Chain A
C-alpha cells in the first residue's frame, strides 16, 4: 500500500479520479483500465489472460 502525496503516479497514468485500476502485464505495459467501481472477478480473468 502506497500513498502518492505529489500525485506523480496518478499523473503518469492520467488517472482522473478514484477509485481506478490499471492492469499491467509482466513487462509493465498497460493492458486495461477501469474507472471507479469495478468487478474484481473481471480483473482476475483479465490478468489470467495475459
Chain B
C-alpha cells in the first residue's frame, strides 16, 4: 500500500509538471503568433510592397490587395484558451491554490500519520503485561526488542539512558523527511500551475489576452459635427461592434470604404460599424502618395 501511494504521488507530480510545460509551450506559441502583428512586421511588409510599386507592375489597388495577404496577423481568441479555460480568470488562481492546499493536507494526513500500533505506556515498553499486537504473532524483531527492554530494566536506569541516546536509524529518518516534503511539493506544484494558467509567470501582450481591454473612456467627435460619441457606450452594446480605423488620405481606406458600408448595411442587427478617422499617417505612409490632408473625408463611409 505504501508503494502504491508513493507511485500515485509520483504520477501526480509528473503529470502536473508535464501539464505546466505544455501550457507554457502553448503560451509561447501564442506570443509568437501575436508578434506577427507588430508594427515592425507591418513596416517590413510595407517596404516590400513599396519596392513592388516602384517596379511599376501594380497600381494602388493591387498593392492594397497584396497587403491584405500580409494582414494575416489577426489573433484568434480560440488560441488563447487552454483546455477551454480562460487564462485570464483570477478565480482560477484561487481555485488552484485551494485545490493544492486541500491535496497537500490530504496527503500530509495520509502519509504523515503515525503507524496504527496500539499505544504503549512505559510499563508496556518493558513488555510486562502490556497489550500485544492484535494481528498474528509478534515478529522476531519485536520479541528481541522486548527482551532487550526487559534486560535494560533489570540492569537499571543508566542502561535505559544509553538506549534513549541511541541515534535514530538513517533509513527511518529519510523516509520521514520525504513524507514531510510531499505536502510542500504538491502545494508548490499547484501554485506554479495556477501562476502559469493565470499568466502570472509569463509575458502577456495586449493581443494575446482572451478578452481584450474594455473600451476606453474616450469620446470622439462625429464627422458631421453633431457632438461626440463616447466609446464607453460600446461596453453594453446590443450587438458586436467593428471599429474601423481610417485616414482621409489613405487610398486603401478609400478603396475599402464601400465594402465597409455594404458590411454595415448587410449585417443588420448582427454587427454595428463605427468608423474612426485619424489625421496622422500609419503603416501606409511609405507607399501612398498623400493628397492634401483632410481633403476627402466625405468619400469614406
**Which A residues form the contact surface with B (CB < 8 A)?**
1-5, 7-10, 12-40, 43-44, 47-48, 50
Contact = CB atoms under 8 A, between A and B. Distances in A.
B271 interface: yes
Given A37-B252, A39-B68, A18 B282 contact: yes
B259 A40 contact: yes
B140 interface: no
Contact of A16 (B39, B253, B271): B39
Interface string B250-263: 10110110011011
B222 interface: yes
B279 A5 contact: yes
Contact of B242 (A8, A15, A39, A43): A43
Given A1-B224, A4-B277, A19-B245, A37 B238 contact: no
A42 B278 CA distance: 24
B283 A28 contact: no
Given A2-B229, A21-B245, A34-B74, 18 more contacts: A1-B224, A1-B275, A1-B300, A2-B274, A3-B221, A3-B222, A15-B245, A16-B42, A21-B244, A24-B242, A24-B243, A29-B212, A31-B240, A36-B64, A37-B71, A47-B239, A47-B271, A50-B240
Contact of B270 (A8, A16, A31, A44): A44
Nearest to A46: B240
Nearest to B217: A12
B171 interface: no
B76 A19 contact: no
A10 B245 contact: yes
Contacts of A36: 42, 64, 67-68, 70-71, 252, 283-284
A48 B236 CA distance: 17
11 contacts: A2-B275, A4-B277, A9-B245, A9-B276, A24-B234, A24-B241, A31-B77, A32-B75, A33-B75, A35-B73, A36-B71
B251 to A, nearest CB: 10
A5 B242 contact: no
Nearest to B266: A44
Contacts of B71: 34-38
Nearest to A32: B74
A9 B231 contact: yes
Closest 7 CB pairs of A and B: A17-B282, A17-B283, A30-B212, A12-B216, A28-B235, A37-B68, A29-B211
Contacts of A9: 216, 218, 220, 231, 243, 245, 276
Contact of B245 (A20, A31, A43, A50): A20
